[in-house]
Amino acid sequence: MFKAILIDKQDNQQRTALETIDESRLPEGNVTVRVDCSTLNYKDALAITGKGPVVRQFPMVPGIDLAGTVEHSSSDDFAPGDAVLLNGWGVGEGHWGGLAEKARLDSRWLIPLPTAFTPRQAMAIGTAGYTAMLSVMALEKQGITPEQGDVLVTGANGGVGSYAIALLARLGYRVVASTGRPEEADYLHELGAAEVIDRGTLSAPGRPLGKERWAGAIDSVGSHTLANVLASTRYGGSVAACGLAQGMDLPASVAPFILRGVTLVGIDSVMRPGADRLEAWRRLGELLAPAQLDAITRTITLDEAIDAAEELLTGRIRGRVVVTMTEQ
C-alpha cells in the first residue's frame, strides 16, 4: 500500500483526494520507483483543481516530475538501488505520476539522478528549471551572447522564470524581468535581474512592431505577451517560447520575422530526447548553487499538495514547490 493524490471523475464531476492505494493498481512499466520527492508545477495544479484539460484518462495520479530510488526493475538500464529522475513524458497526464509514494514507469523515461543534486534539489529544479535550461541553450544555439544586449524573462516569479533569471545572470547576461507582482522586485533582483518591468506593459494587445528593446527573450506566458515580446525584439534576435500562462493563442504579425529577422524557437520539455535531457541537467549542475535552490524553493508534504495547487493558480506562490513523501 502507498499514499497518492488520486484524481477521479464521475458524472462529469472531478474529485481529487489523498488516498491509500494498493500497489497492484500501479500501471504497467518495467521499473518501480520509491518516490522521494516530487514537485507542484502549474500543469499539476491545473490537473488537481480540474481547471485545465490536463488529465487524459481517469483515475490519474498527477505529478510530472519525480526523483526516487529504483525498487524493482526488468530493464537492463536500471537496477534496484539506483537513484533516478523523471521529467515529463506524459506522466501525470496519461500515466500515473510522481505525487505518490510509488510509481511504475517505462525505463526509457528515466535518467540517472545527477550526482550534483540530492533528490530534493533535483525536484527544486524539476521541469521548471530543466525547461529554463533548455530555453537558455536554445538562445545560445541562436548565437545570442551577453554582448548583444538585454534578455527578457516573462512570468518572472514563476518556476521557469525564476530559474531562467538565475541561469542567464550566472552566464553574464543582463536580465530584464517581467512580473505582475512588483512587490517581489527584491526577490527578482536577488536572483540576478538587473531590471524589473510590469507585465501590464506587455499583456495587452499591441502594435506589429515596437521599439527594439532586447536581444533575446524567454517567454512562459504566450498570447499577447509573446506577441509584444516579438514586436520589441532587436534585429536578429531570438525568443524561446516555453509556456502559455496567458493563453495558447498568438495574436501576432509576421513583421518581426520578415523585417527584423527575429527567430521564434519552440521549447518542448515533455518529449525531449534523452541526450538533450542529460546535457541540460549537466549544465544545471555546473550553473546552479544549493543556496540558489533554497532561495527559490518551498517544501511541503504530500497531504499539503492539494491546497497548495489552489495557491499556485491564484499567484500566491513564487518560485518552486517541492513535495516530499516524508514528514518534515
Give bridge partners of residue 69 from the DSSP assignment.
34, 83
3-state secondary structure 126-150: HHHHHHHHHHHHHHHHCCCCHHHCC
Confidence of residue 308 (pLDDT cuts 50, 70, 90): very high
Write down the residue that cell numbers 500497489 correspond to.
23
Domains recognised in the chain with CATH numbers = 2-113+289-324 (3.90.180.10), 128-266 (3.40.50.720)
**pLDDT at residue 319 greater than cutoff 80:** no
Looking at per-residue pLDDT, the higher value among 149 and 291 belongs to 149
Confidence of residue 28 (pLDDT cuts 50, 70, 90): very high
Question: For residue 100, what pLDDT is reported?
Answer: 97
Question: For residue 294, what pLDDT is reported?
Answer: 79
Give bridge partners of residue 320 from the DSSP assignment.
297
The three three-digit cell numbers of residue 294, written as one number: 533554497
Question: For residue 17, what pLDDT is reported?
Answer: 95
**pLDDT at residue 328 greater than cutoff 60:** no
Residue 19: Cβ within 10 Å count: 14
Spatial neighbors of 186 by CB under 8 A, at least 6 apart, are none
Residue 53 burial by Cβ neighbours in a 10 Å radius (0-12, 13-18, 19+): exposed
**pLDDT at residue 220 greater than cutoff 50:** yes
Q: What is the mean pLDDT of the chain?
A: 94
Looking at per-residue pLDDT, the higher value among 314 and 188 belongs to 188
Question: For residue 182, what pLDDT is reported?
Answer: 87
Confidence of residue 327 (pLDDT cuts 50, 70, 90): low
List, in sequence order, every beta strand (DSSP E) within 27-186.
Answer: 31-39, 65-73, 83-87, 102-105, 111-112, 151-153, 175-179
| CA dist 302 → 15, 89, 127, 322 (Å) | 17, 22, 18, 9
Q: Cα(139)–Cα(91) distance, rounded to whole angstroms?
A: 27
Q: Cα(101)–Cα(90) distance, rounded to whole angstroms?
A: 18
Reported as a single tens digit per residue, the pLDDT across 92-139 is 999 999 999 999 999 999 999 999 999 999 999 999 999 999 999 999
- DSSP category for residue 94: T
Note the Cα 199 to chain centre separation in Å: 20
**pLDDT at residue 282 greater than cutoff 70:** yes
Signed CA dihedral, 285, 286, 287, 289: sign only: positive
| CA dist 303 → 9, 19, 67, 155, 326 (Å) | 20, 10, 18, 27, 10
Reported as a single tens digit per residue, the pLDDT across 137-184 is 999 999 999 999 999 999 998 889 999 999 999 999 999 999 998 898
The percent of residues above 90 in pLDDT, for the chain, comes to: 86
Spell 206-230 as b/e; 16+ CB within 10 A means b: beeebebbbbbbbbbbbbbbbbbbb
**Does the reported pTM lie above 0.95?**
no
Stated as kind and residue range, the H or E segment containing 313 is helix 305-313
